[in-house]
Chains A and B, each alone.
Chain A
Amino acid sequence: MLTDQVKEMRVTKALEAALPGVIADGKFAFAELTLEIAPGRIVEACAFLKNQDRFIRLAAITCVDLYPMEPRFEVIYHLHSMPRPGITEDERLRLKCRLAGEAPAIDSVCSVWRAADWYEREVFDLFGVSFNGHPNLTRILMPTDWEGHPLRKDFPIHGHKYDYKSE
């Protein structure tokens, strides 16, 4: 559960006060704060952090495959608030949602930051996590007819065997 240090942080307090129960876990390591969010509530958490709090920028969305552990996928959101008129600190926050390995899906945050568009497509492409409500969830880096999701840990590094004879 949350340590006292994490509980005392400004963002944790603000988020917990506005949306009780949204934080499932959290840790503070290497001077970086990570909050684990209940997967079903990611959009409201992000909308609060952007609109009511100060995290106007989404730096990136990515994913970590913990195969063969369950829940298998961790979707990571890197949020950032840079110093600007009225705000002096440079703050970064990492949100994490754990998803089960079977048909992983989470709500899209495209409605919060438009920058989420390509990052979610990238995670979909390379990890096979689908984002509900994404306007155009298609492959972005791999060819459209590619089979499998290359950054999953059970995808072989040399790719799948290719049979030249059947060409």
Chain B
Amino acid sequence: MSDFNTALADMPAGEGQARRRTMTLNMGPQHPSTHGVLRILIELDGEVILKAAADIGYLHTGIEKQCEVRTWQQVVPLTDRVDYLANLSNNLCYCLSVEKLLQLEVPARVQWTRVMLTELTRINSHLVWLGTHALDIGAMSMFMYCLREREEVLKLFEMFSGQRMMTSYFRIGGLALEPPRGWQKAIGKFVNMMPDRIDFYENLLTGNPIWNVRTRGIGHLTLEDLLDWGATGPMIRAAGLGWDIRKDAPYSSYEKFDFNVPVQTDSDVYSRYLVRIAEMRESVKIMKQALEGMPEGPWQADAPQVVLPEREKMKTQMEALIYHFKIVTEGFTVPAGEVYQAVEAPRGELGYYVVSDGTSKPYRIHMRTPSFGNLMVLAPMIENRLLADSISSLGSMDFVLGDTDR
């Protein structure tokens, strides 16, 4: 580009015309490659982006405000809607933080089921990311292949919770429903199918010369910059630091699972792709371990003040009926205090900061969402680089605008 720029600068300016002209381009809010409603203001000099500024907030729905007028259990469905591709990660993070405040220990079977389904969520999210990212770069068929497998994931979600996307399957103190009969067979089938499918994606992309040219060396940022700008998750792991909350501060019995944290060092779009592909394989590994070692036991905690009683008990026992009535009408109280719980969501660190004032409604919930932090990196990642590369850089950040705007 430098030769072209020098030539442009040396060109004689016309009468009343500036020597160098830049163009301001409005990308979005409904641009297909922005994956939602993100608006980016770009100042262009020819093909080079001089300055970029992201404008967010188009999907702001005031979820944090709404949480303050719901009872503790009623907040769970709202957390689904924060990141609509990683809803179970959000459910998990919220439930863990409230359980921490309640000092409630959930049974091993619940913890393992949560791990299994959260990993399934990670595969779901990465599949949508891979499909759309490849679509942006021009590999259209990937989108169909990825959504084919995602359909299987959604069927599993539907089997467990009755819902394909907004599952709300994890509740404070356990699960929403008992895992359905025959889930082992369905999960087993998926776990056996998935590694071959990931090989198939890699066959199409990893060695593909067009893919390599479009992604290698693009969107590079140093690890220090990424950390300073607030990026988390696969972006950090693609820059050489093997930081994964599942390993460093295990929650929900992740310490009992054997898995690796994939790390790459190039910190470009290609290495982010490699990290996410490897993460899908690790997720399949974790799901397999959860399937094989799933402990027996109850699917809800033994906490009658918090967990709804079984339907049958409610019809035959006075106490169960009273608890049911109280939990449904006024909710349960949570001791006053504040906690911050972080989990490793598909996009990075998801943290819920929950403040309770001892009543049956949350006083304040702040969601530290991974997309919000990751999107701050946008400007340094695409500035002073080619406009065409900004599309693959954007895709490699893997943000969800619902997650950013809440």
Contacts and interface: CB of A to CB of B under 8 A. Distances in A.
Do A and B pair up? The answer is yes
Interface of A: 29-30, 32, 34, 56-60, 62, 64-65, 76, 78, 82-84, 90, 92, 94, 113-115, 117-119, 126, 139-143, 150-151, 155, 157
Contact of A59 (B229, B243, B338, B368): B368
A30 B373 contact: no
A34 B351 CA distance: 16
Given A150-B65, A157-B69, A142 B57 contact: yes
B405 A141 contact: yes
A90 B60 contact: no
A64 B363 contact: yes
A60 B366 CA distance: 9
A140 B62 CA distance: 13
A155 B66 CA distance: 12
Nearest to B224: A56
Contacts of B241: 82, 84
A3 B143 CA distance: 57
B339 interface: yes
A59 B349 contact: yes
Contacts of B353: 60, 62, 76, 78
Given A84-B241, A90-B248, A157-B66, 18 more contacts: A29-B337, A30-B337, A32-B338, A32-B339, A34-B338, A65-B364, A78-B340, A82-B243, A82-B248, A114-B230, A114-B376, A115-B376, A141-B56, A141-B60, A143-B57, A151-B65, A155-B65, A157-B68
> Which 5 A-B residue pairs are closest in the complex by CB-CB distance?
A115-B230, A60-B368, A62-B366, A90-B248, A141-B57
A115 B355 contact: no
Given A150-B65, A157-B69, A83 B338 contact: no
B56 A83 contact: no
B228 A115 contact: yes
B342 A57 contact: no
B339 A117 contact: no
Contacts of B62: 150
Contacts of B342: 59, 92
Task: Tell me which of A64, A115, A150 has the highest count of chain B C-beta atoms within 10 A of its own C-beta.
Answer: A115
A119 B351 CA distance: 14
24 contacts: A29-B338, A30-B100, A30-B101, A32-B339, A59-B351, A59-B368, A60-B353, A62-B366, A64-B355, A64-B363, A64-B364, A76-B353, A76-B366, A78-B353, A82-B241, A83-B248, A114-B229, A115-B228, A115-B230, A117-B376, A118-B372, A141-B60, A142-B60, A150-B65
Contacts of A90: 248-249
Contacts of A82: 241, 243, 248
Interface residues of B, number: 38
Given A30-B101, A32-B339, A151-B65, A78 B351 contact: yes
B64 interface: yes
Contacts of B376: 114-115, 117-118
Contacts of A30: 100-101, 337, 339
A92 B229 CA distance: 18
Contacts of A142: 57, 60
A82 B293 CA distance: 30
Contacts of B373: 59-60, 115
Contacts of A115: 228-230, 373, 376
Given A60-B351, A78-B368, A157 B65 contact: yes
B227 interface: yes
Interface in B352-386: 353, 355, 363-364, 366, 368, 372-373, 375-376
Contacts of A126: 64
Contacts of A59: 342, 349, 351, 368, 373
A116 B358 CA distance: 31
Nearest to A92: B340
B149 to A, nearest CB: 32
Interface string B38-81: 00000000000000000011001010111011000000000000
Contact of A114 (B60, B228, B355): B228
Interface in B316-354: 337-340, 342, 349, 351, 353
